[in-house]
Chain A
Amino acid sequence: MMRLKLHVWRQKSGGTQGSFADYDMTDVSADMSFLEMLDVLNEKLTADGSDPIAFDHDCREGICGACGMVVNGEPHGPRKATTTCQLHMRSFKDGDELWIEPWRAEAFPVIKDLVVDRSAFDRVIQAGGYISVRSGSAPEANSTLVPKLDADAAFDAAQCIGCGACVAACPNASAMLFVSAKVSHLGHLPQGQPERYARVRKMVAQMDAEGFGGCTNHKECEAACPKEISISHIARLNRDLLKAQLTAAEEKKVSESA
């Protein structure tokens, strides 16, 4: 059993001031997940009649992207390629002091304690992170061939779970890794081609409007990403945007005359 000293960000609601509250944990098992450690603390807080610490979580198996907090300055804590829910207390030592904070970004306002509003990501997706297809019966599986390398690249990008750790880690709170993963995921596949260049212009415009910062190539996002999405996707996003900007005029004329 480990003893830990926690400093947890507590904030009643978006409009109120927050501050750190200190908690001493005496009986932390190395086999607990980080969220289970917080569950234990919350049971105690509830039993004492105080407000439990609010944090987001859902699958608790590293695939939904709901969880996430900054632990000692690192989004999702110290373990590489690991979401907070998959982080275990064996990653810490007896006597450790942990500072636990929400994602901090203008575009991700705090809702309560460690829970932030990530609907900015949803609006970026709504702006262009889709393909237009006929719904109804599924097409025959092999009717559209996808080269192996493209399929692999699309799969790598599609691993993004939209947790927002890239924004949390970036010194500029930039969403470039997220947006680039979504743009790459669709842009590598034949089904994503018709809307490829319109998509990138719309998604980038929405990203900027949400108040995320710009990329200055620090690579902190790549280091923090629990799915190890590469910044090569950001370079590809930059390429696609450049091409989209320079060719957009023609697209417009065609659609006007049609």
Chain B
Amino acid sequence: MANTTAPSRDLRALPAAPGPLGLLDSTIGQKIVMATTGAILVGFVLFHFIGNALIFAGPEAINDYSHLLHHSHGLIWVARAVLLLAVVLHIATALRLTAKNASARPQPYKVKRDIATNYAARTMVWSGPILLGFLLYHLAHLTFGVTPGPYQHSPEDVYSNLVNGFSIPWVSGLYIVSMLSLGYHLFHGVWSMFQSLGINHSAYNPRIKHAAIGLALFITLGNISIPLSVLLGLVH
């Protein structure tokens, strides 16, 4: 029998530099970055939805809330800076990890059966970019009011902006499809976040799993209910 030896790679890898920055040098550290920035973004989408839901309390409630945010003595800029940093780190780290993972199996299987994973977990690298695209459109639409089409934007009247914007069926459709992507991203992401941070204990695992699914459903269905209510004429 041919006694072939595989390419020798007797590397002696040095551990990452000590300290928090060294986290960027290992796959586990990078997952901890994904999870931490992901947690910041989850916190954001949760509070953002709660703010959005004020539309059901009428024009005054949501417009007052918007006014409060915009006259917060610069606090909104602190929040925006943190969110921007989180988004940039989250995406940059996702790209690095995805590249490493892709090169870890250059030759694919002819036949591969998935047993434990699910659709949401397999499509994180797709639901993520869809969210980025949506994020850019969403900012252009409801923050800057610069999207093309019949939509009328007035910076002081968020309520009317939402009603005007979502009265256009394709705009509502875009929001609904994007929120489904968010749902998938969160379905895997929220549970994954706990595991990546090492929060796994047999006594709490079922509760963590249920809380993750509940949060994903709550944020997704909650956000979808807004364009849907406008389309159905429940909010006008």
What residues of chain A have their CB less than 8 Å away from a CB belonging to chain B? 7, 12-15, 20, 54, 70, 72-74, 99, 101, 104-107, 109-112, 117, 119-120, 123, 127, 169, 171-174, 176, 198, 201-202, 204-220, 222-224, 231-232, 234-242, 245-246, 248-249, 251-252
Contact = CB atoms under 8 A, between A and B. Distances in A.
B4 A73 contact: no
A215 B16 CA distance: 18
Contact of A172 (B4, B20, B101, B205): B101
Nearest to A127: B13
The SS class assigned to the B binding surface is loop
B28 A217 contact: no
**Which residue, of B29, B122, B199, has the highest number of chain A Cβ atoms within 10 A?**
B29
Interface stretch (B40-48, B106-114, B157-165, B177-185): B106-114
A217 B191 contact: yes
B13 A220 contact: no
B225 interface: no
A109 B188 contact: no
A212 B104 contact: yes
B22 interface: yes
A209 B11 contact: yes
B179 to A, nearest CB: 23
Contact of A54 (B1, B7, B22, B105): B1
A111 B4 CA distance: 6
A46 B162 CA distance: 76
Given A14-B7, A117-B6, A214-B27, A174 B115 contact: no
A210 B100 CA distance: 11
A72 B192 contact: no
A127 B15 CA distance: 10
Contacts of B117: 171, 218-220
A234 B205 CA distance: 14
Contacts of B20: 245-246
B11 A210 contact: yes
A226 B113 CA distance: 16
Contacts of B198: 235-240, 242
A223 B115 contact: yes
B83 interface: no
Given A99-B111, A216-B192, A237-B198, 16 more contacts: A13-B2, A14-B6, A70-B109, A73-B112, A104-B108, A109-B6, A120-B9, A123-B11, A198-B15, A204-B15, A205-B16, A207-B27, A213-B27, A217-B195, A236-B198, A249-B18
Chain B interface size, as a band, is 35 or more
Contacts of A104: 105, 107-109
Interface of B: 1-2, 4-7, 9-16, 18-20, 22-23, 26-32, 97, 100-117, 121-122, 124, 188, 191-192, 195-202, 205
A240 B111 CA distance: 36
A101 B109 contact: yes
**Which residue, of B9, B26, B28, B205, has the highest number of chain A Cβ atoms within 10 A?**
B28
A20 B107 CA distance: 14
Nearest to B32: A242
27 contacts: A14-B4, A20-B110, A72-B111, A101-B111, A117-B5, A123-B10, A174-B101, A205-B14, A205-B15, A205-B16, A205-B26, A210-B11, A214-B30, A214-B100, A215-B196, A216-B101, A217-B191, A218-B116, A219-B117, A224-B115, A234-B195, A236-B198, A237-B28, A238-B195, A238-B196, A239-B197, A251-B18
Nearest to A252: B18
A235 B27 contact: no
B6 A214 contact: no
A215 to B, nearest CB: 6
Contacts of A13: 2, 4
A216 B15 contact: no
